[in-house]
């Protein structure tokens, strides 16, 4: 009974930014639970390579999450393969770790285009098709502790992730009566290729010291929540943001 509760057998999941880090770990877990996964990344070669490493149940589709036209084409291609049951909006960017007054307009726009606008329109493109076919679905937005707790030198990133959290709740409210659940995962400081330079810098020691559990997260720490939200185990859960931060928000 436990296995069937968390099974993704027969489901297809679209995971943006699925070529590495948290997205890749979620893809691996979903495959182990029986799903077929479609992962995206900006690099065509890198996306194909990551999909090949995941095995026969993975398909790689290059997509720039900051480009709505590419997102629309991506979802159309996915539907030619088969309906998408689960969306994981994981693609993200953060071009800078510095004080707010030094952030440029171009950097701000890029962070919002990828982290917030891209997630919004990926969810919308999938939901339109699910609603037209009266199919249920699950949207999982990978946010951040920065959406709930102010993090110095990450102003644009925190603002975009706060927007994602509110977007999650609004879409959950709008689609609940038609069977599409929308939830979020908010990781704390997590060791990935995306964050390695920051943790190796002079700021890294201080960031670690702020975590009550005494360590940085690994991508594997996020997969349990993602599996729960993708599966029937969370059938009565929508509009929730699951904070997985080692207690950092308690500081």
Question: Positive or negative CA dihedral for 123, 51, 215, 205?
Answer: negative
Is 157 designated active site? yes
Exposed / middle / buried, residue 63 (Cβ in 10 Å: 0-12, 13-18, 19+): buried
Active-site residue (options: 24, 120, 157, 228): 157
| Geometric angle at alpha carbon 247, from 242 and 250, rounded to 5° | 100
48/39 Cα distance (integer angstroms): 9
Active site residues: 157
């Amino acid at each position: 009974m436990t296995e069937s509760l968390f099974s993704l057998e027969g489901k297809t999941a679209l995971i943006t930014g699925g070529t590495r880090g948290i997205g890749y770990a979620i893809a691996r877990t979903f495959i182990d639970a029986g799903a077929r996964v479609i992962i995206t990344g900006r690099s065509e070669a890198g996306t194909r390579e990551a999909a090949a490493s995941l095995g026969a149940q993975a398909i790689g589709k290059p997509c720039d999450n900051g480009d709505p036209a590419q997102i629309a084409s991506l979802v159309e291609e996915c539907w030619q393969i088969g309906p998408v049951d689960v969306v994981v909006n994981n693609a993200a960017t953060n071009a800078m770790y510095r004080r707010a007054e030094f952030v440029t307009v171009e950097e701000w726009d890029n962070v919002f285009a990828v982290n917030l606008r891209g997630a919004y329109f990926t969810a919308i493109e999938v939901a339109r098709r699910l609603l037209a076919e009266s199919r249920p679905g699950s949207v999982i937005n990978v946010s951040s502790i920065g959406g709930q707790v102010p993090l110095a030198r990450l102003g644009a990133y925190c603002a975009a992730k706060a927007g994602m959290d509110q977007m999650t709740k609004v879409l959950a409210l709008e689609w609940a009566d038609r069977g599409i659940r929308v939830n979020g995962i908010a990781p704390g400081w997590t060791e990935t290729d995306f964050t390695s330079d920051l943790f190796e810098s002079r700021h890294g020691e201080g960031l670690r010291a702020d975590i009550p559990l005494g360590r940085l997260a690994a991508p594997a720490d996020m997969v349990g929540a993602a599996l729960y939200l993708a599966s029937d185990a969370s059938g009565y859960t929508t509009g929730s943001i699951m904070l997985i931060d080692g207690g950092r928000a308690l500081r």
